[in-house]
Amino acid sequence: MRKLLFLIGVFMVASYFGAHDVLAQTADSVAAAAGEAVDSMASAGPAAAEAVTETVTAAAETTEDVGAFQTLKEKFIEGDWIWMTPVLACMIFGLAFCIERIITLNIASANTDTLMSKIDDKLTSGDIEGAKEVAKATPGPAASVIYEGLRNVAGGAEGVEKAIVSYGSVQMSLLEKGLVWISLFIALAPMLGFLGTVIGMIQAFDKIQAAGDISPTVVAGGIKVALLTTVFGLIVAIVLQIFYNYIVSKIDAITMKMEESSIALVELMLRNKSFK
Tell me, what amino acid is at 121?
A: D
Residues 44 and 66 in one domain: yes
Pick from 46, 29, 265: nearest CA to 143? 265
Its pTM stands at 0.68
Of 21, 45, 78, which one is at a domain's C-terminal end? 78
Residues 103 and 213 in one domain: yes
pLDDT mean across residues, the chain: 74
Q: Coil, strand, or helix at residue 152?
A: coil
Helix (H) or strand (E) holding 88: helix 81-108
Distance CA 64, CA 53 (A): 16
Confirm if 154 and 128 have CB atoms less than 8 A apart. Answer: no
Identify the pLDDT of residue 128. 82
pLDDT per residue as tens digits for the range 41-100: 445 445 444 544 454 454 445 444 456 566 666 666 666 677 788 888 999 999 999 999
Distance CA 80, CA 228 (A): 9
Pick from 173, 168, 170: nearest CA to 146? 168
Distance CA 12, CA 15 (A): 5
Identify the pLDDT of residue 70. 67
Residues 85 and 151 in one domain: yes
Q: Backbone dihedral region of 140: left (phi > 0), alpha (psi from -120 to 50 degrees) or beta?
A: left
Residues 186 and 209 in one domain: yes
Identify the pLDDT of residue 243. 95
pLDDT per residue as tens digits for the range 112-165: 778 888 888 888 888 888 888 888 888 888 888 888 888 888 777 778 888 888
Of 78, 105, 127, which one is at a domain's C-terminal end? 78
Pick from 272, 260, 227, 40: nearest CA to 141? 260
Residue range(s) defining the domain that contains residue 69? 2-78
Q: How many C-beta atoms surround the C-beta of residue 146 within 10 A? A: 30
Identify the pLDDT of residue 29. 47
Distance CA 181, CA 189 (A): 12
Residues 36 and 16 in one domain: yes
Residues 37 and 101 in one domain: no
Pick from 191, 171, 178: nearest CA to 243? 178
Residues 120 and 174 in one domain: yes
Identify the pLDDT of residue 275. 65
> What is the dihedral angle through the alpha carbons of 205, 208, 209, 212, rounded to the nearest 10 degrees?
-160
Residues 138 and 191 in one domain: yes
Identify the pLDDT of residue 79. 60
Pick from 188, 196, 190: nearest CA to 224? 196
Identify the pLDDT of residue 23. 37
Identify the pLDDT of residue 72. 61
Confirm if 176 and 206 have CB atoms less than 8 A apart. Answer: no
Residues 67 and 197 in one domain: no
Residues 100 and 60 in one domain: no
Of 78, 113, 131, which one is at a domain's C-terminal end? 78
Identify the pLDDT of residue 30. 38
Residues 30 and 85 in one domain: no
As for how many domains the chain has, the answer is: 2
Distance CA 96, CA 12 (A): 8
Q: What is the DSSP string of 140-181?
A: SHHHHHHHHHHHTGGGHHHHHHHHHHHHHHHHHHHHTTTHHH
Whether residue 110 has pLDDT greater than 60? yes
Residues 150 and 186 in one domain: yes
Distance, C-alpha 86 to centroid of its chain: 18
